């Protein structure tokens, strides 16, 4: 199969993935926007108005980038894990497995779907944010770059979850017990400075903290993590997860008995 044909195959996968979530936009794009509005009202307006500014910003403004990125993370992950698992469950993954599409294209197609959904939700939530908080966008390229890298990383993680999932319960275990705690403890609602030195050090092992830190830096210029080190960490995790995904695909884990 030539490179051109592989690109046609990738295009088909991306169209399929895009249609999959856009067709049910009420279930995929709207809920994160509503959740974010509730966060802004409860944490930003009601509780946040009683709190002091952080880094010269209102609490409402401070939590805005974290809320956007949280939606991006959750939706990129959820899109890939549900798309991949349902393709196993309904067996239409076989359409890809019998075709000449390479494993790399299969992975890129699913991850591409996660990136599209993550960014679509990110834009929707950002549009809602306009009504509640300032969006200074200090470093636009960094903001977009971190959003894309975050989507890729969690799409890859969702893909691995999808490969091992044997029931619909299995696709909610990781988000519930790993993803949500790491996200909430990743500095969305508080600054790292608020923690004791010990917990600050512990928090640095949370990769989501680096993503939110970078995203917030790009969004409003508040630097809480080292830009270069955090970017390298995210890229290193992406490379590692990509390798794991391709190995699992090659072995046929979870898809080829």
Partner 1 sequence: MALAAMIPSPTPALQIKGLKKTYATGVEALHGIDLEVQHGDFFALLGPNGAGKSTAIGIISSLVTFSEGSVTIFGHDIVNDYAAARACLGLVPQEFNFNQFDPVCEILMHQAGYYGIRRQDAAKRAQRLLEQFDLWEKRSVMARELSGGMKRRLMIARAMIHDPQLLILDEPTAGVDLEIRHNLWHYLKEINSQGTTIILTTHYLEEAEQLCRTIAIISNGRIRADTTMRELLDQLDSEHFVLYLKNPLLHCPKIDGYALHCPDSRTLEATVSKGADLNHLFDELNAQGIDIVSMKNKTNRLEKLFLQLVGHRFD
**Which residue carries 């409402």 as its tokens?**
60
- CB 191 within 8 Å of CB 54: yes
Q: What is the smallest separation between the CB atom of 170 and partner 1, expressed in angstroms?
A: 18
Q: Is 6 in the site for partner 1 (CB under 8 A)?
A: yes
Residue choice 1, 42, 51, 178 for contact with partner 1 (CB under 8 A):
1
Q: Is 96 in the site for partner 1 (CB under 8 A)?
A: yes
**Which part of the chain contacts partner 1 (CB under 8 A), choosing from 7-15, 66-74, 132-140, 228-236?**
7-15
Q: Is 167 in the site for partner 1 (CB under 8 A)?
A: no
**Which part of the chain contacts partner 1 (CB under 8 A), choosing from 37-45, 47-55, 86-94, 192-200?**
86-94
Element (H, E) at 113: helix 103-129
Task: Please choose, from the candidates 120, 94, 88, 105, the residue with its C-alpha nearest in 3D space to the C-alpha of residue 24.
Answer: 120
* Rounded Cα distance, 212 and 183, in Å: 9
* Rounded Cα distance, 215 and 138, in Å: 10
Q: What is the smallest separation between the CB atom of 9 and partner 1, expressed in angstroms?
A: 5
Q: What is the smallest separation between the CB atom of 17 and partner 1, expressed in angstroms?
A: 10
* Rounded Cα distance, 207 and 224, in Å: 13
Q: Is 5 in the site for partner 1 (CB under 8 A)?
A: yes
Give the three-state DSSP class for 57: strand
Question: Which residues are bridge partners to 57 per DSSP?
Answer: 54
Q: Is 100 in the site for partner 1 (CB under 8 A)?
A: yes
What residue ranges bind partner 1 (CB under 8 A)?
1-2, 4-6, 8-9, 11-13, 15-16, 19, 87, 90-92, 94-102, 252, 256-257
């Amino acid at each position: 199969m030539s490179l051109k044909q592989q690109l046609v195959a990738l295009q088909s996968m991306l169209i399929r993935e895009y249609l999959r979530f856009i067709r049910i936009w009420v279930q995929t794009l709207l809920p994160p926007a509503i959740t974010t509005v509730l966060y802004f009202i409860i944490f930003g307006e009601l509780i946040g108005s009683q709190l002091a500014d952080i880094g010269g910003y209102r609490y409402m403004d401070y939590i805005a980038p974290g809320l956007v990125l949280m939606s991006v993370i959750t939706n990129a992950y959820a899109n890939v894990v549900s798309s991949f698992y349902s393709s196993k469950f309904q067996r239409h993954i076989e359409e890809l497995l019998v075709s000449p599409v390479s494993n790399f294209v299969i992975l890129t197609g699913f991850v591409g779907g996660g990136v599209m959904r993550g960014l679509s939700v990110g834009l929707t939530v950002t549009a809602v944010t306009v009504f509640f908080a300032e969006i200074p966008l200090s470093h636009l390229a960094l903001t977009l770059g971190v959003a894309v890298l975050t989507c890729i990383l969690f799409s890859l993680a969702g893909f691995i979850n999808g490969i091992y999932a044997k029931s619909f319960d299995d696709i909610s275990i990781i988000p519930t017990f790993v993803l949500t705690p790491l996200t909430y403890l990743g500095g969305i609602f508080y600054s790292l400075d608020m923690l004791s030195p010990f917990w600050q050090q512990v928090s640095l092992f949370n990769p989501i903290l680096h993503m939110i830190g970078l995203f917030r830096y790009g969004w409003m210029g508040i630097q809480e993590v080292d830009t270069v080190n955090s970017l390298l960490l995210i890229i290193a995790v992406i490379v590692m997860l990509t390798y794991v995904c391709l190995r699992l695909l090659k072995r046929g884990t979870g898809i080829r008995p």
